[in-house]
Amino acid sequence: MTREEREKLDAYLKSIVSSLPECPGSYQYYDEEGTIIYVGKAKKLKSRVSSYFVKTQQSAKTQVLVSKIRHITYTVVKTEQDALLLENQLIKKYKPRYNVLLKDDKTYPSIVITKEYLPRIFSIRNRNMRGATYFGPYSHVQTMYALLDVCRSIYHPRPCMTVMTEEGVRSGKYDVCLNYHIHKCEAPCCGRQNHDDYLASIEACREILKGNTRHVAVKLRERMMQLAEEMRFEEAAAIKHKLEIIENFAERSEVVSNVNYDIDVFHIESDEKQAYINFLHVVNGAITQSFTFEFKKRLDETDAELLALGIVEMRDRFGSNSKEIILPFNVDLPEGYALQTIPQMGGKKTLLELSRLNVRQHRIDRINQAEKLNPEQRQTRLMKEIQEQLGLPHLPLRIELFDNSNLQGEDAVAGCVVFDRLKPNKKEYRTYHIKTVEGPDDYASMREVAERRYSRLKEEGATLPSLIIADGGIGQMSALREVVEERLGLHIPIAGLAKDARHRTREMLFGDPPVRVAVKPDSQLFHLLTQMQDEVHRFAITFHRNIRSKRQRASELDGIRGLGEKTKALLLKRFGSVKRIKEATLEALQEAIGAARGRNIYEQLHTAEKSDG
């Protein structure tokens, strides 16, 4: 687009904005192909739409949206509530590119009550039956089946899928089937159950599915007492059995309070790309519906904006008219839409916490599912966590960890392990004999190893790490920083992993001066850092043990004249231990290292034995 074309377009859009009214409504943005790319709502249309064209208030994503706008339309409504509902309807209808995308829920089943002469009750995934009443969808399928079992156990709605007409029933078209004989149906199709009684049973099932189990239980109890007074004890016993079923179900249900709350509860968790919103519908103090749904973000929507959209969507979908909604914070909803409550204690606070637990678990489950399909996604997420926790300029694609090992200063060694994209790269592992340090001085050993490693990498122009982690606290970090930053002039972030008295990872340190980084002990990131620390410790201590073992084994052969280091190594490799070398025959030694050296070693070993004896 040329400069003249851009100026002409800007003038056209400003003329539309200047003519917008200051009243509630919905606005729609179109691209050059005439497609709606964004739908919004506003208390005052002119003020809201104008804000999109103030560059100082634009985020990067909003700038992209504004650059695509070629035309603007709007719809004026009477109230803010109407604007909210209209926005929701238009988003669902047009699915604009830059609006949040509500992920489809077709994978979740619902319960349907059909509209026919003898209604049926069953589960369904696609809501395409005319006139039917739907309950759900149910993200927890076991809850749906529990509700169906209660309805079937108490009221026996016909389980067959045959569409039955009033004329067919009255003409005797249908025959008694097996379901009647096994007590799964009362055979209303054959007149064995009165039609009005059957419809009353369906209405009772409808109340159960709505969550009104207490109301149903009261009706059953009244009927049972009436039958008992009339001396109809067998019928009263049958009602008692039904009452026990529904009371047992109510006990298993998530009852949150003895107070008869009729409210909706919402909670939200979000990240850069997704938002997850949990909805709990509470009737008579019991949760009758729990559903978590997802929004795919398109712009820089806030949690408050997404939650407001989710509230309207879920209440519309589930047909909820609760006068009170429980939220973690206030959101912008039309006046009079519903009472917003942010509880601080009591049963409502318990409900809000339960909703938070549900949405958090759903988010974790979805992340785990995605990472099983794409394992690299987990590595990227954890690298981003490390980057955010430490404020690193780049993802820590390469991490190096150091650990020292010695026994009272003897056989001092160090190990360096390398993780590329959080996976151990064992080809890059390195071991170091400490050469310049006498006695047990971990800080001096750390300085020596860092000097040797990073001066060499710097000279060779090799890949430097994105992050260095010391197996220790402030002292080790300072030793590394002294070499890496001050002596070599390298700018590599340095962190430390401190342990407690039981040698367990306690905390992560970062910065200069080092400060504690808040990493939750039960998080995946903390477990990963612990595994990395265990790996460098294992690597260093294994190397140290091998060195110490070789030295101890070789020392017993030090008194043998004419036995050099290479011959010692050859004999130990051939026979496996000093004991077996001593027990070897002359022929075996000569075969291993030659006739002359073999005889020399054999005689000295056995001369030493005789002198010892």
For 324-381, the pLDDT digits (tens) are 999 999 888 877 888 999 988 877 888 888 888 878 877 877 777 666 667 777 788 8
Range name among 87-101, 422-436, 544-558, 593-607 with the lowest pLDDT average: 544-558
| CB neighbours of residue 538 within 10 Å | 13
**Confidence (pLDDT) at 286:** 65
Q: How many CA atoms lie less than 13 Å away from 55 in the CB half-sphere? A: 2
Range name among 172-181, 459-468, 539-548 with the lowest pLDDT average: 539-548
Residue with tokens 């070897």: 584
Instruction: Report the percent of the chain where pLDDT is more than 90.
Output: 9
Q: Is the pLDDT of residue 564 over 60?
A: yes
**Confidence (pLDDT) at 102:** 64
At 466, which CATH number?
Answer: 3.30.420.340
pLDDT digits (tens, 9 = 90+) for 31-71: 888 888 998 888 888 888 888 887 666 677 788 888 889 88
Over residues 568-573, the mean pLDDT reads 80
Q: Do both 365 and 286 map to the same domain? A: yes
Mean pLDDT of the chain: 81
- The verdict on residue 580 lying in a domain is yes
**Confidence (pLDDT) at 563:** 76
End residue of a domain, out of 314, 335, 370? 370
Pairing of strands 467-470, 494-499: parallel
Q: How far apart are CA 600 and CA 591, in angstroms?
A: 13
- The verdict on residue 283 lying in a domain is yes
Q: Do both 564 and 542 map to the same domain? A: no
DSSP code per residue over 466-530 = SEEEESSSHHHHHHHHIIIIIIT-----EEEEEE-TTS-EEEEEETTTTEEE---TTSHHHHHHH
Q: Do both 433 and 534 map to the same domain? A: yes
Instruction: Report the percent of the chain where pLDDT is more than 70.
Output: 88
Q: Which residues pair with 255 in a beta bridge?
A: 286
**Confidence (pLDDT) at 122:** 92
Range name among 2-11, 87-96, 589-598 with the lowest pLDDT average: 87-96
Q: How many CA atoms lie less than 13 Å away from 279 in the CB half-sphere? A: 25
Burial class (CB in 10 A: 0-12, 13-18, 19+), 146: middle
Q: Higher pLDDT residue, 12 or 215?
A: 12
Over residues 264-283, the mean pLDDT reads 86
pLDDT digits (tens, 9 = 90+) for 2-41: 888 888 888 888 888 887 888 888 888 998 888 889 988 8
Q: How far apart are CA 319 and CA 335, in angstroms?
A: 20
Q: Do both 398 and 497 map to the same domain? A: yes
- The verdict on residue 24 lying in a domain is yes
The count of domains in the chain is 4
Q: How far apart are CA 588 and CA 174, in angstroms?
A: 99
Q: Do both 586 and 487 map to the same domain? A: no
- The verdict on residue 249 lying in a domain is no
End residue of a domain, out of 370, 403, 432? 370
- The verdict on residue 194 lying in a domain is no
Q: Do both 515 and 406 map to the same domain? A: yes
Pairing of strands 467-470, 430-433: unpaired
Q: Do both 306 and 347 map to the same domain? A: yes
Q: Rounded to the nearest 10 degrees, what angle do helices 595-612 and 586-593 cross at?
A: 140
- The verdict on residue 524 lying in a domain is yes
End residue of a domain, out of 549, 565, 597? 549
Q: How far apart are CA 602 and CA 587, in angstroms?
A: 9
Range name among 145-149, 168-172, 198-202, 442-446 with the lowest pLDDT average: 145-149
**Confidence (pLDDT) at 361:** 77
Over residues 246-275, the mean pLDDT reads 70
Q: Rounded to the nearest 10 degrees, what angle do helices 213-229 and 195-210 cross at?
A: 140
- The verdict on residue 71 lying in a domain is yes
Q: Do both 318 and 390 map to the same domain? A: no
- The verdict on residue 238 lying in a domain is no
**Confidence (pLDDT) at 285:** 65
Q: Is the pLDDT of residue 254 over 50?
A: no
Q: Do both 413 and 539 map to the same domain? A: yes
Q: Do both 544 and 560 map to the same domain? A: no
- Record the tokens describing residue 323, joined without a space: 């006068």
At 358, which CATH number?
Answer: 3.30.420
Q: Do both 537 and 441 map to the same domain? A: yes
Q: Is the pLDDT of residue 442 over 60?
A: yes
Domain that holds residue 505: 385-549
Q: Is 264 helix (H, G, I), strand (E, B) or coil?
A: strand
Angle at 389 between CA 517 and CA 355, to 5 degrees: 95
- Which residues, other chains included, contact 213 with Cβ-Cβ below 8 Å and sequence gap of 6+? 207, 246, 249, 250, 253, 284, 286
Q: Do both 487 and 352 map to the same domain? A: no
